[in-house]
Structure 1
Amino acid sequence: MGLNVAVTSALIARLRDDLFAAQFTADTVDSLWGPDAASALRRGQREPARRAVAATGGVGVLATLFVLGLPVPTAGLAAALPALGVDGAEALGLVRLDGELAMPLLDLRPHAFVDALGAGSWWIASDLGEAALRRAIPETHVLGVGGASTTLAGLMVGTKVGRVLDLGTGCGIQALHAARHAKHVVATDISGRALELARFNAELNGVGNIELRSGSLYEPVAGETFDQIVSNPPFVITPRGEGVPSYEYRDGGLVGDALVASVISRAARHLAPGGVAQLLGNWEYHDGVDAFERVTAWLDGTGLDAWVVEREVQDAALYAETWIRDGGILPRTDEFDALYAAWLDDFAARGVSSIGFGYVTLRRPVTGGPTLRRLERLHGGLGNNPAGLGVHVAATLAAHDLQAPLSDAELTRTAPVVAGDVTEERHYWPGDEDPTVMDLRQGTGFGRTFPLGTALAAVVGACDGELELGAICSAVAQLLGVDSDELLAEVLPSVRELLTTGFLGV
């Protein structure tokens, strides 16, 4: 059932007032049921949380109805939403009435975050999930705030810009984030229901600089350019065939990873000079072919700077299991087994052995051709990034721009300094005076580890922001009894990498 858009404006204002008054916030909701029940809820089990909120007043009624997706007495809802009222909630399409009970029609929950501009919070409406529906989700399902959407939001560069394009907005979460640092956001989606919910969420949260357009990918913005593009596209690799559900929020309708290839290859014509595009994606590993060879082919000819970070690889079977289960289809059922076979048949026919997942950052040079091409695998944990990875991404692009045009001679005249989040680790065999392994470890960003040789360790250790790099290298060469030019040739490529990735600053 859709939102009643004809009556939303006045009623949404009342709903907003009620949610404020009830203190329906992420912290309040989390405190209702505690960490153990929250963990159970993430596993799709509502009962521990339901028990915890059984007698917690108005905010408990709202959490039960809109977060847990359980019915509540109409009298309790009337008390929790005094301005909107039960009739108003029904008119908005939030609930349907069944005797003395109000049944939820939407998921509506608080979402708190911290980005480069500071802390913020919203209420986000989306479709009810599998636990509330008690069945598999429909193909038209509009997803709420999930792991992928929070990942992209955290990755988003928050530099002040004029125009942002949110490609495939869904419930509008990326558009809301972009609206904090952009003058104007254009958000597109092929799903009319997604656009309804995105419009509702923008109005509920008082955000007025988002323009919604209907259409597939770049079609609604033909001929337009943007300072920033963000996209959590429908990148899930799904077999094409009868009986295989095609979920609008995750399936782009193309074979394999062609959807991600298309988004990348067409980005250049919609980026203004200096503009940055950021998206999530999957890429296939074919038998005997590294996925990065295929991603490189997508990037070639775009004329864009590119930085691709692979965060995870799943084998074909695990990938199939993950996404079939994501649709709410239970294992050990005939439907699950049939879909599992379809997925594995598709992968086998196309020679797909595994699938990578990660982040893509693209940038259109202001002048000239591209200077940045990084494809790297950074699996495992991240550093401590309270404001998200976007700050690190922006700093990495800026650091690359600073050091890339410098000749080696010019680089030696800079005075690098070790970043404040960097520590050095040394490992010794028992009884040895000299370390067998030396590493630099980054506390923020991607939590990188960088191996050190003796010369590089000595050079980095002397980088205090006062001494020029050339003077440091000359002193280290003399200390180690090696040729100064040879030491420079050894350490300068590593210094450039350490500058780009944020271990060193200038």
Structure 2
Amino acid sequence: MLPEPDPILCRALADDLRSAGFSGAALRDAWGEQADDAVPRGLRQPALRALGDRRDALATLGRLWCLGFAVDVEAAAAALPNLGVAGAVTLGLVGIDGDRVVPAVLVRPQPYGDADGSVEWWIASDLDEAALGGPLPEDHVLGVGGASQTLARLQLTWRGGTALDLGTGCGIQALRLRRLVPHVVATDISERALRFTRLNALLNDVDGIETRLGSLFDPVAGETFDRVASNPPFVITPRVAGVPAYEYRDGGLEGDALVASVVAGVAAHLSPGGVAQSLGNWEYRDGHSGLDRIREWVDPSLDAWVIEREVLDPLAYAELWVRDGGTVPGTPAYARLIDAWLDDFAERGVTGIGFGYVLLRRPLAGAPTLARYERVAGGGESAFGPHLAACLENQDRAGLLDDEGLASAILRVAPDVTEARHHRPGEESPSVIELRQGGGFGRTLEVDSALAALVGACDGDLAVGPLVDAIAQLLEVDADELRADILPRVRELIVTGFLTFTDA
């Protein structure tokens, strides 16, 4: 068990890291871009080789806590003048083996940026597979992984009074939420994870984060929050002997029941206007769509926006997570675990496993107005949070307008939208017209000439109604019929961010 972190020692460690220039940019410069990109893939030797014989504090701490290599006691002591090697031992960050200081954890810089600016935290977590030289222990506390980064990109920047980080792990989501609210409750079933969360809060001088031990919503019974974020242990894992159950990724329930519990249970913990965002996996069973199954989990009192990014077949899913646990392909253990996963899926008739994002909101007043369950495969690595926030605001505003009100609205095409027209050789009129979104989820929509003309004319000058009338006259069609056809599609373009209100 990681020792309870001592605030004085954490401040001393922070001083030493700061003095060493222990930042992501400095480490990347020290060992080069290629080696830096290889470290998250478990390839440590290129970075170690690039450091050569350097014994400065940055190189020593980089070897010790970024790469997970032992260093000699003299170099460690020089790199930690305030904390000292004994202090690092007391914090549970290192051990001593003769004249060598051996890493017990990883401590890596983690940049983050939002509307309030950019920060870089130092995040402590358990040693990874490369540093351990084998599979992870089941109580492993993960650092900042790909799923955590994805959830960070999704986070709305709306502020509030309180927030809940459900299944906090190393505490990275709690740190991010703390920038939006004055008080965060971070929960986990792992006391080890909660100690890492407290360590990371102290190390980065962040207050207002309260940790509580317990499963799912048990530690916050009867409480509500303005913001909820959860990167839950959503990996679907066979509940049979011989299959490792990693606390950081496996919820301990059959199939996708853990994700169902999070989605269904959060309604009782959302304040009016409160928003919950989480990641998840869901099963497709005997032809029953995973998105339809999520719809059954969502409390009907909430707005819901569920985005499915991909669907894996059972074999691909099994291979992904068996490799993630450190079991090497081609070994008997690998084949045995794959069989266990496939047997588990077969028992429930699972034909596919979806992965995606869940956004739930308690309306301030009245009935829910949003129920989107969709598959969106596009989008890059940009921050989706501001895009989602703008879409929700557009949805709220458009929802207050009847057709007459929408016809009176003045809209503007979003600056990231482009149009592509495809012509058959020799034909003057395009056979396909597409609207393409450069930001957000990178949507591509095929539209007809009437809608394309409307979007092209939305420059913040004329209202939608007069534009539709002009297009009807140009196309020689009935204006009322065109309006009835085009207004619902205009609403969709507003919600998905292709069009926006001029005063937004």
Q: What TM-score does the superposition give when structure 1 sets the normalisation length?
A: 0.97
Query: How many residue pairs align between the two structures?
Result: 500
Q: Is the 8 A contact 1:54 1:60 kept in 2?
A: no
Q: Partner of 1:19: helix, strand, or coil?
A: helix
Using the alignment, how far apart are the partners of 2:489 and 2:448 within structure 1?
10
Correspondence for 1:491: 486
Deviation at 1:504, TM superposition (A): 0.7
Correspondence for 1:429: 424
Pick from 12, 25, 28 the counterpart of residue 14 of structure 1.
Answer: 12
Q: Is the 8 A contact 2:473 2:479 kept in 1?
A: yes
Do residues 338 (structure 1) and 339 (structure 2) align?
no
Deviation at 1:381, TM superposition (A): 3.6
| 1:384-431, Cα deviation, whole Å (9 max, x unpaired) | 63xx21111111111110001211111000000011111111222234
Q: Partner of 1:239: helix, strand, or coil?
A: coil
Q: Which amino acid aligns with 1:390?
A: G
Do residues 439 (structure 1) and 434 (structure 2) align?
yes
Q: Is the 8 A contact 2:107 2:125 kept in 1?
A: yes
Correspondence for 2:210: 211
After superposition, where does 1:19-38 map in structure 2 within 5 Å?
Answer: 19-38=17-36
Q: Partner of 2:32: helix, strand, or coil?
A: helix
Using the alignment, how far apart are the partners of 2:320 and 2:447 within structure 1?
39
Deviation at 1:4, TM superposition (A): 4.6
Deviation at 1:447, TM superposition (A): 1.1
Q: Partner of 2:461: helix, strand, or coil?
A: coil
Correspondence for 1:285: 284
Q: Is the 8 A contact 2:182 2:208 kept in 1?
A: yes
Q: Which amino acid aligns with 1:320?
A: A
| 1:50-69, Cα deviation, whole Å (9 max, x unpaired) | 10122442211111111110
Do residues 402 (structure 1) and 400 (structure 2) align?
no
| 1:33-64, Cα deviation, whole Å (9 max, x unpaired) | 22322333232221111101224422111111
Do residues 473 (structure 1) and 480 (structure 2) align?
no
Correspondence for 2:149: 150
After superposition, where does 1:36-51 map in structure 2 within 5 Å?
Answer: 36-51=34-49
Deviation at 1:74, TM superposition (A): 1.5
Using the alignment, how far apart are the partners of 1:54 and 1:127 within structure 2?
26
| 1:198-234, Cα deviation, whole Å (9 max, x unpaired) | 0000010010011111101100000000001100011
Deviation at 1:292, TM superposition (A): 1.5
Q: Partner of 1:182: helix, strand, or coil?
A: coil
After superposition, where does 1:226-237 map in structure 2 within 5 Å?
Answer: 226-237=225-236
Do residues 272 (structure 1) and 271 (structure 2) align?
yes
Correspondence for 1:132: 131
| 1:157-176, Cα deviation, whole Å (9 max, x unpaired) | 12121000000000000000
Do residues 373 (structure 1) and 371 (structure 2) align?
yes
Q: Which amino acid aligns with 1:354?
A: G
Long gaps (5+) in structure 2: none
Correspondence for 1:319: 317
Q: Which amino acid aligns with 1:64?
A: R
Deviation at 1:77, TM superposition (A): 1.3
After superposition, where does 1:293-308 map in structure 2 within 5 Å?
Answer: 293-299=292-298, 301-308=299-306
Using the alignment, how far apart are the partners of 1:480 and 1:325 within structure 2?
58
Q: Partner of 1:310: helix, strand, or coil?
A: strand
Deviation at 1:118, TM superposition (A): 2.1
Using the alignment, how far apart are the partners of 2:415 and 2:136 within structure 1?
47
Correspondence for 2:246: 247
Q: Which amino acid aligns with 1:274?
A: G
| 1:95-144, Cα deviation, whole Å (9 max, x unpaired) | 11112211100010000122232211100000001110011111000000
Using the alignment, how far apart are the partners of 2:4 and 2:412 within structure 1?
58
Q: Partner of 2:410: helix, strand, or coil?
A: coil
Q: Is the 8 A contact 1:268 1:302 kept in 2?
A: no
Q: Is the 8 A contact 2:378 2:442 kept in 1?
A: no
Do residues 412 (structure 1) and 407 (structure 2) align?
yes
| 1:457-485, Cα deviation, whole Å (9 max, x unpaired) | 11111111110110111111111111111
Q: Which amino acid aligns with 2:323?
A: R
Q: Is the 8 A contact 1:265 1:302 kept in 2?
A: no
Using the alignment, how far apart are the partners of 1:156 and 1:450 within structure 2?
25
Q: Which amino acid aligns with 1:459?
A: L
Using the alignment, how far apart are the partners of 1:117 and 1:327 within structure 2?
37
Q: Which amino acid aligns with 1:138?
A: P
Q: Is the 8 A contact 1:399 1:499 kept in 2?
A: yes
Q: Which amino acid aligns with 2:22?
A: F
Deviation at 1:380, TM superposition (A): 3.8
Question: Could you tell me the percent identity over the aligned residues?
Answer: 56
Using the alignment, how far apart are the partners of 1:2 and 1:210 within structure 2?
19
Q: Which amino acid aligns with 2:393?
A: A
Deviation at 1:318, TM superposition (A): 1.0
After superposition, where does 1:79-98 map in structure 2 within 5 Å?
Answer: 79-98=78-97
Q: Partner of 1:145: helix, strand, or coil?
A: coil
Q: Partner of 2:120: helix, strand, or coil?
A: strand
Q: Partner of 1:161: helix, strand, or coil?
A: coil
Pick from 334, 354, 357 the counterpart of residue 356 of structure 1.
Answer: 354
Q: Is the 8 A contact 1:4 1:91 kept in 2?
A: no
Q: Partner of 1:430: helix, strand, or coil?
A: coil
Q: Partner of 2:460: helix, strand, or coil?
A: coil
Deviation at 1:13, TM superposition (A): 0.7
Using the alignment, how far apart are the partners of 1:130 and 1:500 within structure 2?
43
Q: Which amino acid aligns with 2:44?
A: R
Q: Partner of 1:467: helix, strand, or coil?
A: strand
Using the alignment, how far apart are the partners of 1:270 and 1:4 within structure 2?
29
Q: Is the 8 A contact 1:70 1:103 kept in 2?
A: yes
| 1:351-401, Cα deviation, whole Å (9 max, x unpaired) | 11110000000001111221100011111443x63xx21111111111110
Long gaps (5+) in structure 1: none
Using the alignment, how far apart are the partners of 2:289 and 2:211 within structure 1?
38
Using the alignment, how far apart are the partners of 2:183 and 2:72 within structure 1?
42
| 1:308-329, Cα deviation, whole Å (9 max, x unpaired) | 0001111101111111111111
Q: Is the 8 A contact 2:273 2:362 kept in 1?
A: yes
Q: Is the 8 A contact 2:4 2:195 kept in 1?
A: no
Using the alignment, how far apart are the partners of 2:422 and 2:101 within structure 1?
62
Q: Partner of 1:283: helix, strand, or coil?
A: strand
Using the alignment, how far apart are the partners of 1:72 and 1:146 within structure 2?
26
Do residues 173 (structure 1) and 172 (structure 2) align?
yes
Using the alignment, how far apart are the partners of 1:442 and 1:378 within structure 2?
12
| 1:234-270, Cα deviation, whole Å (9 max, x unpaired) | 1110111111111111111111001111111111110
Using the alignment, how far apart are the partners of 1:389 and 1:256 within structure 2?
28
Deviation at 1:495, TM superposition (A): 0.6
Pick from 386, 390, 394 the counterpart of residue 385 of structure 2.
Answer: 390
Using the alignment, how far apart are the partners of 1:62 and 1:427 within structure 2?
56
Correspondence for 2:67: 68
Correspondence for 2:113: 114
Deviation at 1:438, TM superposition (A): 1.3
Using the alignment, how far apart are the partners of 2:106 and 2:179 within structure 1?
24
Using the alignment, how far apart are the partners of 2:29 and 2:286 within structure 1?
49
